[in-house]
Structure 1
Amino acid sequence: MKQSTILFLFLKIYNMVWKLVLPLLKRNARLSHGIIQRTSCSHLQQSDIWIHGASAGEAYLSLTLIKALVKSNGKLPGKILLTATTSQGIDILNTSMQFSSTTNAHPPSNTDTMQKLRQPEQEKSKLPEFIKTTEPLSQPNAYCSSEQIKTAWFPFDIPRLMTEVIDRIKPRLIVLIETELWPGLLAAARKKQCRVLIINGRLSRKSHRHYKLTKWLWRTVAPDAILATSSNDCEKFRAIFPEAHIDLMPNMKFDTILSSVKHEDTPSNDNPPHEEKICNAKNTTYEENISQDFKFLPLDVPISIFASIHKEEEKDILNIMENMITKLPEQVILLFPRHMHRNDAWKKALGRPDKKIKWEPRSEITKQVSPGTIILWDRFGDLKDAYTIATAAFVGGSLKPLGGHNFIESIISGVPTVTGSFLDDFAWTGDEIFETNIICKAFNNNEVINKMLDYLKHPMDRHTVIRKGIKSLREKQGGSTLACQMINTYLQKNGKS
């Protein structure tokens, strides 16, 4: 059977499935947001480039890409439409762009969005990890007007609707961020001869397996080019899209992460002026750094942090903390469970008579604690501040195959850090940062204990940790610049620059 016939039959069935499920989606609490825009195209305007990213993380990358396009071209290369699939993504786009969008709702204020990004851990955990070290781009409308950039909800991938959407927008180029593979969109783009790029591409093991099972479909709607963030991802994409141009790029997240500490363009040397300021600010004494929230901690003792500890790791972490207190009783340990609902389980475990552990919940502390105490942190939103007074940190979600958590936040706070070996969600950071001695990957409990004790007994200068961390991250920057080069190339191929 010809590929065109296979695609025709698939799209016919796919359209029917959408027709059946659409009434259910309209009643879904999450998907009903923006339902008018998700199911129509009358609100859309002609745009030269359509950039789509699914949720909060990809929304930040979309904004990073906008900034890079202006920097590389001196101006935006035409009108741009930014879309997202989730409420978080839409809020970030609207707030960061700071202008009236094509969405029905009024754009939220900066305060609204930042409150969402600083919300309690169970809500914040829904955000991609790297976002927790980033802030919205500052004043992007200083170099682009509301007439140049619009935002909108991403339409449901109904083939008939997607054809109408592309007819309405008439994009010269569609840019998909990370792994936004929608057959309706890709088929409509091919039908209308609209070029499609995937940038910052990545495929999880699970996604790759699923896409390989349906590669007969994807080969008929392949994008024109893919820039993937690792050699492994390049090979995965080649197995699905053998005819597409596929190349390697640095992960754009490295460009985004440093926006939280980089406030001005500086030379790429070992000691840029702004880094000196950051390091000097962080390299203060304990007394200068400590806020009222941490005044109960004793002076001049090592402070350990165990952050984002999951249920599956609790038994191991309890044993690790016991061993560390035994071997270095003058320290204080701050324990931050990943989810607040695990506090009762922790209280039970720490309070077992056979454990003889000295501990207190943070909410009940009224006076200075003594060395050798484990503090169960049962309040929201203090971890980032706690890093500024810590001597060493262990970041959880990594002792078991749970993907890992954000160890970059602790490093750029000046804290030498230990993680477990299960870091699938952070494979994009590469191995080089683990060669700097500011972060260590431990493969068992004993390695966690030994490395944490080493950091505690031989404290590292915060200045050094921050500088090495920023230098390591900066060396991997440049993904957004490479993506812009690809975008400009394909715009020129379209007969217009």
Structure 2
Amino acid sequence: MRYFYTVLLYLALPFIFIRLFWRSRQISDYRRRLGERLGFYPIQFEKCIWVHAVSVGEVLAAIPLIKALQVRYAELPLLVTTMTPTGAARVTSAFGKNVTHAYLPYDLPGSVNRFLKTMHPTVGLIMETELWPNLLAACYHQHIPVGLLNARLSEKSAKKYHRIAVITRNMLQSLSVIAAHGHVDAKRFIALGASQHTVVVTGNIKFDLQLPNNLFAESMKLRESFGQNRFIWIAASTHEGEEEQILQVHQQLQQKNQQALLILVPRHPDRFDTIFKLSEQYGFKTSRRSQQSTAMSDTAVYLGDTMGELLLMYAASDVAFVGGSLIPRGGHNMLEPGALGKPILMGKHLFNFAEISELFIEARALSIVSSAELLLQLIRLMNDIKERTQMGERARQVVEANRGALNKQLELITKMMQSSVV
């Protein structure tokens, strides 16, 4: 079965590179370092700890883990691989030269073997659910223990993996550890063929988010620059099909409060220009974070078009809407606004964060809304400062009550390191 998968991947390779060049029209980094996509690297290690985080969201989740690994295994270099340039940029902004970044090669046998021969990882730590058959098979045969950390598996993803049941079972059984978010995730992994003794429920490492020491001071400066006493709400990690709804809501909100400010942060950088134009088409005075550090007093929409500043934008806001949820994308990370004590609003599509969202809903820290209900909730929270504060505090308490996954996963990594023969 894996043989046919590999043949198909070889046949698809020209089209994959065409897609890279197509995407490079918006983000030029897609056409850089192409050799790494095939396992050719300008660097080499005798041994290292390898962490793979496919893109920005996974990198953000991995940051506390990587920092802890730097302390615990200071003698070993850390290699962080991603698949996207935006993920690469986030690694660089978070760690600079203290870790090495490389692109993970495509899942071709030759490329994978070149990667392993060049990097000599002592262990492989894959964030969430990024499973590649040839990569995992090569690690298994070369006795490199691989752990799936912060592992989650939605019902939708489980159905997709079930369609390739033989490949999925072999991949899961090659893993040394699967550190699952919750019991539902664990049951799904086991049902797909994972060995029960490798699956451990550790909780979600994203709860262990560490806020920068200067974050609140910087957010107050940003907020003050927006103008005194403005109601500020953020729509973060938005996707195509959501921004139109959000801008329409903001139009109606401004009829209630002309000074209301929307901070709009699209999920993907290649859409920044498009959303800027869209906002202006709606008649909003729109400022861009990348072009000026603050909004003017007459700015109605502030476009967060920079990388690595989402926490700052959340901290400067009164209410947070988290995107990917008004459309069926499964939602994005609600823990960041939660840790900052912000009331959270999301659409109904939360399958990527099903268990976590239930914690916030039960605590009355998260309200599920349609676009029409979003307006009503914003008006309510804008006018009721007490409820806004209490809802935000309930969100913060949910995050605090569920910390601890980081230490559990570090202990699993320690056992993997002890079993490694590389």
TM class by shorter chain equals 0.7 to 0.9
Change (3 A) 1:232 1:346: farther
Change (3 A) 1:477 1:378: closer
Corresponding residue of 1:307: 235
Deviation at 1:213, TM superposition (A): 0.8
Note if 1:241 corresponds to 2:206.
no
Residue by residue over 1:380-439, the C-alpha shift from the partner in whole angstroms, topping out at 9 and shown as x without a partner, is 5699888777665655654554544665555555554444433334436343333445x3
Residue by residue over 1:230-272, the C-alpha shift from the partner in whole angstroms, topping out at 9 and shown as x without a partner, is 323222222323336212122222223x334588xxxxxxxxx
Note if 1:57 corresponds to 2:10.
no
Deviation at 1:24, TM superposition (A): 4.5
Q: Which amino acid aligns with 1:342?
A: L
Change (3 A) 1:153 1:291: same
Secondary structure in 2 matching 1:259: coil
Corresponding residue of 2:105: 155
Note if 1:47 corresponds to 2:47.
yes
Corresponding residue of 1:255: 208
**More displaced 10-residue stretch of structure 1: 190-199 or 332-341:** 332-341
- Give the alignment partner of residue 183 of structure 2, picking from 231, 234, 252: 231
Task: Tell me how many residue pairs correspond in the alignment.
Answer: 392
Deviation at 1:485, TM superposition (A): 0.8
CA distance in 1, matches of 2:141, 2:296: 70
Q: Which amino acid aligns with 1:242?
A: A
Secondary structure in 1 matching 2:411: helix
Residue by residue over 1:61-86, the C-alpha shift from the partner in whole angstroms, topping out at 9 and shown as x without a partner, is 44422322345x4x436444322222
CA distance in 2, matches of 1:200, 1:92: 19
CA distance in 2, matches of 1:206, 1:164: 33
Note if 1:182 corresponds to 2:132.
yes
Corresponding residue of 1:293: 226
Change (3 A) 1:199 1:454: same
Change (3 A) 1:303 1:386: farther
CA distance in 2, matches of 1:445, 1:457: 19
Residue by residue over 1:437-492, the C-alpha shift from the partner in whole angstroms, topping out at 9 and shown as x without a partner, is 5x341455786566545434431288766655443212222222222111111222
Deviation at 1:23, TM superposition (A): 6.6
Secondary structure in 2 matching 1:247: strand
CA distance in 1, matches of 2:320, 2:15: 47
CA distance in 1, matches of 2:51, 2:360: 31
Corresponding residue of 2:269: none
Corresponding residue of 2:88: 90
Change (3 A) 1:20 1:315: closer
Change (3 A) 1:436 1:460: farther
Contact 1:231 1:248 in 2 (8 A): yes
Secondary structure in 2 matching 1:44: coil
Contact 2:51 2:81 in 1 (8 A): yes
Contact 2:179 2:200 in 1 (8 A): yes
- Give the alignment partner of residue 433 of structure 1, picking from 352, 360, 363: 360
- Give the alignment partner of residue 480 of structure 1, picking from 379, 382, 406: 406
Corresponding residue of 1:171: 121
CA distance in 1, matches of 2:116, 2:314: 48
CA distance in 1, matches of 2:60, 2:303: 28
Change (3 A) 1:460 1:492: same
CA distance in 2, matches of 1:368, 1:150: 42
Contact 1:411 1:465 in 2 (8 A): no
CA distance in 2, matches of 1:388, 1:51: 29
Corresponding residue of 1:346: 282
Deviation at 1:164, TM superposition (A): 3.5
* Aligned residues: CA RMSD: 4.4
CA distance in 2, matches of 1:19, 1:415: 44
CA distance in 2, matches of 1:306, 1:435: 23
Corresponding residue of 1:33: 32
| Unpaired stretches in structure 2, ≥5 consecutive residues | 267-274, 288-294
Question: Relative to total residues, which structure has the larger helix share, 1 or 2?
Answer: 2
- Give the alignment partner of residue 377 of structure 1, picking from 301, 319, 342: 301
Corresponding residue of 1:13: 7
TM-score for both structures, normalised by structure 1: 0.63
Residue by residue over 1:318-348, the C-alpha shift from the partner in whole angstroms, topping out at 9 and shown as x without a partner, is 57975x789xx5785334566333335534x
Q: Which amino acid aligns with 1:422?
A: H
Secondary structure in 2 matching 1:180: coil
Secondary structure in 2 matching 1:173: strand
CA distance in 1, matches of 2:113, 2:224: 56
Contact 1:69 1:77 in 2 (8 A): no
Secondary structure in 2 matching 1:431: helix
Q: Which amino acid aligns with 1:377?
A: V
Secondary structure in 2 matching 1:460: helix
Contact 1:208 1:236 in 2 (8 A): yes
Contact 2:344 2:392 in 1 (8 A): no
Secondary structure in 1 matching 2:235: strand
Residue by residue over 1:343-395, the C-alpha shift from the partner in whole angstroms, topping out at 9 and shown as x without a partner, is 35534xxxxxxxxxxxx7467xx9988xxxxx842655699888777665655
Corresponding residue of 1:421: 348
Deviation at 1:93, TM superposition (A): 2.9
CA distance in 2, matches of 1:331, 1:435: 33
User: Rg bigger for which structure?
Assistant: 1
Report sequence identity in percent.
Answer: 22
| Unpaired stretches in structure 1, ≥5 consecutive residues | 1-5, 100-140, 142-148, 264-277, 348-359, 370-374
Change (3 A) 1:44 1:57: farther
TM-score for both structures, normalised by structure 2: 0.73
Deviation at 1:11, TM superposition (A): 6.4
Contact 2:150 2:204 in 1 (8 A): yes
